[in-house]
Amino acid sequence: MPTVGLLAAASVVLLDQSSKTLADRALVPGQQVDLLGDVVGFQLVYNFDAALGARVPEWFFLTVTAVVTVIVARNLPRAALARTAVAYGLLLAGAWGNGLDRALRPPGFPAGGVVDFVALQVGGPLPRFNVADLAILAGFVLLLATMGSEERALDAGAVA
């Protein structure tokens, strides 16, 4: 199963970084582009803080990326189900997608700005986000949803 998770991770990191590059080139920072009224659109922002604007030291982000990488490296080879491997791959992709921004985007390592560009308004404006953020959310939800199935598969000696 590790191959499935690693392929998912690589695909999502590629999609994340490509979409951020496109947003960075095509959008004007701060200017909203509506797609479905004002409910769904794009707005380019550079996020130097943690989720929901929380302020943390710059080293914190790279530490989280390293911790997630270690957790996935430890658990992905043990995944008995493809969907569990995909969940780990999504978590890894999200951590690495935003970690690459912190390392490579201006002003540079370790304080680079994460490119956020998806704008939603559901009962009011939500924080802007990106593909990596969606991968983290989807990976976490999928991992929670598969935990019981994964345990049963491991108990039964299943491989897929």
Which of the residues are catalytic?
116, 133
Q: Identify which of 76, 93, 100 has the alpha carbon closest to the alpha carbon of residue 137.
A: 93
Burial of 6 (0-12, 13-18, 19+ CB in 10 A): middle
Q: How many residues does the chain have?
A: 160
String of b and e for 39-77 (b: at least 16 CB within 10 Å)? eebbbbbbbeeeeeeeeeeeeebeebbeebeeebeebbe
Burial of 83 (0-12, 13-18, 19+ CB in 10 A): middle
- Where on the phi/psi map is residue 157: left (φ > 0), alpha (ψ -120 to 50), or beta? left
Q: Identify which of 25, 24, 42 has the alpha carbon closest to the alpha carbon of residue 33.
A: 42
